[in-house]
Each structure stands twice: as structure tokens, then as C-alpha cells.
């Protein structure tokens, strides 16, 4: 394996499947099977899911809602998604722990770094929810922070497209895919990989990012094995 401990970042929107909002049970079961295959091979897996399928703090704020209040609602949305993924993983026979940056001991463990690492070492998939626990930070930043804290080898950002392109491939047929990029090149080209706070944190800690298509079965394992042509690698 190219990577032994990974942090998988999924968007909340990815859980919608073909729905307009909420959680598609078929889609989340598919993701659980992908994660099960990887975890079963001995790779240690942490997961962070966004909450955009339920509520996005920044969109709530744009509609006149208090930004801090809206961000707290977004954090709770990620806990709901975390519970859903935990249920799907456990139904698939995967030992899983859900940790939350906001204390809610009836629902999830509090995030404790040493405990999270111990769970990973024991082969459990750890889902990190509620972002960083603070408003004004995205789940991309939460994912990067957790990846640094647990000393992950890489952040795997699962999206709908198979890597980073020169333009949006869904809108521009002439867009070309990059196989590898440096952090500096991403800055200079103005490419949208993660929000700038998350991206800078990743760069400063020399934590590579792989952007890949999570909706293609088997891709997650291929990325972890280092298969050529799958996704785009961003590194220093």
C-alpha cells in the first residue's frame, strides 16, 4: 500500500445520491462498502463528512441568519451524516467510532486525539464530526486539522470528478486533467481544491491531498494502492 493511515473527506452533498436533499441510503451503503474494503486490507481510515445535504452554515448566513448560529447548525448536520455513515458501516460489519468536536456524550465520543489514534490502531474506522467545533471554519479545514492531528499520510478528497482540471470538466469540454500539482501551482493557477485555510494548513504540514472520483467503485482502494491515473495528487 502507498498509504497506511488516511483521512477520507466526503462532501455532504455526495450522500444525497439522486435526491435533492437528505441522505440516500443506497449511496451511503455503497460508500460503506468501499471503506470496508480498504479497512479490511489493514489501512487505518478516518472520515470527515460535510453537512451540505442538510444545512450549510454559510448559505444560512447569506440569508440573514447569524453566522455563528448558522455554523453551529451546520456542525450538527455533520453529526447527523456521521451517525448515518456509522450505521451503514456497522451494518456492513465494520467496527466504527463517531467522535464529535462538540460534546454530545449521548450521541458520540468527544474528540480526543490519543483515543482516536488508538481506535485507528485497533482497526476501527473513526468518523470525525462537528468540524473543528468552531464557527467560521469549513469541514475542509476540520478534515485537514484532524488529518494533521492523527498523523495521516494523506487527505483523500472524494468528489464527483476524477481529479483536478484546468476548468470545470462538467461545463468545459476542453478542460484538461492534472496528474500531479504542487501546492504552489494550485495557488498560481487559482484552482479550487479546498478552502484556503485548509489548503494552507495542509501545505505547511506537508500533508499531500489526492482529489479523486469517489463514485467509481474501487477507486478508493486504487488511490490508496497508488494506482496511476486515478485522481490528482497535490504535494509540496
Domain total of the chain: 1
The average pLDDT across 156-167 equals 92
The average pLDDT across 17-28 equals 92
The average pLDDT across 192-204 equals 93
| Domain boundaries, position 178 | 5-235
pLDDT category at 61 given cuts 50, 70, 90 is confident
Q: What are the cell numbers at 148? A: 494533521
Question: 46 - beta bridge partners?
Answer: 7, 126
pLDDT category at 51 given cuts 50, 70, 90 is very high
- Rounded distance between C-alpha atoms, residue 84 and residue 21, angstroms: 14
pLDDT for the residue 20: 87
Q: What angle do CA 182, 236, 160 make, to 5 degrees?
A: 50
Map grid coordinates 493557477 to a residue. 189
Q: What are the cell numbers at 219? A: 477507486
pTM of the model: 0.95
- Maximal CA-CA distance, the chain: 51
- Rounded distance between C-alpha atoms, residue 182 and residue 184, angstroms: 5
Residues 6+ apart with CB under 8 A from 63: none
Q: Which region holds residue 22: left if phi is over 0, alpha if psi is between -120 and 50, else beta?
A: left
CATH number, domain at 145? Answer: 3.40.1160.10
Amino acid at each position: 500500500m502507498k498509504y497506511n493511515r488516511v483521512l477520507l473527506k466526503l462532501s455532504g452533498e455526495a450522500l444525497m445520491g439522486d435526491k435533492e436533499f437528505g441522505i440516500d441510503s443506497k449511496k451511503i451503503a455503497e460508500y460503506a462498502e468501499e471503506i470496508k474494503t480498504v479497512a479490511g486490507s489493514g489501512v487505518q481510515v478516518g472520515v470527515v463528512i460535510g453537512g451540505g445535504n442538510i444545512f450549510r452554515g454559510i448559505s444560512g448566513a447569506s440569508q440573514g441568519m447569524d453566522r455563528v448560529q448558522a455554523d453551529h447548525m451546520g456542525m450538527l448536520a455533520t453529526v447527523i451524516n456521521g451517525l448515518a455513515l456509522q450505521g451503514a458501516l456497522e451494518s456492513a460489519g465494520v467496527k466504527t467510532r463517531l467522535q464529535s468536536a462538540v460534546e454530545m456524550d449521548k450521541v458520540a465520543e468527544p474528540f480526543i486525539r490519543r483515543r482516536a489514534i488508538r481506535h485507528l490502531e485497533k482497526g476501527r474506522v473513526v468518523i470525525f464530526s462537528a468540524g473543528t467545533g468552531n464557527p467560521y471554519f469549513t469541514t475542509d479545514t476540520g478534515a485537514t486539522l484532524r488529518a494533521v492531528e492523527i498523523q495521516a499520510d494523506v487527505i483523500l478528497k472524494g468528489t464527483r470528478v476524477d481529479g483536478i482540471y484546468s476548468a470545470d470538466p462538467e461545463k468545459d469540454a476542453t478542460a484538461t486533467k492534472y496528474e500531479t500539482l504542487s501546492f504552489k501551482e494550485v495557488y498560481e493557477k487559482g484552482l479550487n481544491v479546498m478552502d484556503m485555510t485548509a489548503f494552507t494548513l495542509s501545505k505547511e504540514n506537508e500533508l499531500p491531498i489526492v482529489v479523486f472520483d469517489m463514485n467509481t467503485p474501487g477507486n478508493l482502494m486504487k488511490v490508496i494502492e497508488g494506482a496511476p491515473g486515478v485522481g490528482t495528487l497535490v504535494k509540496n
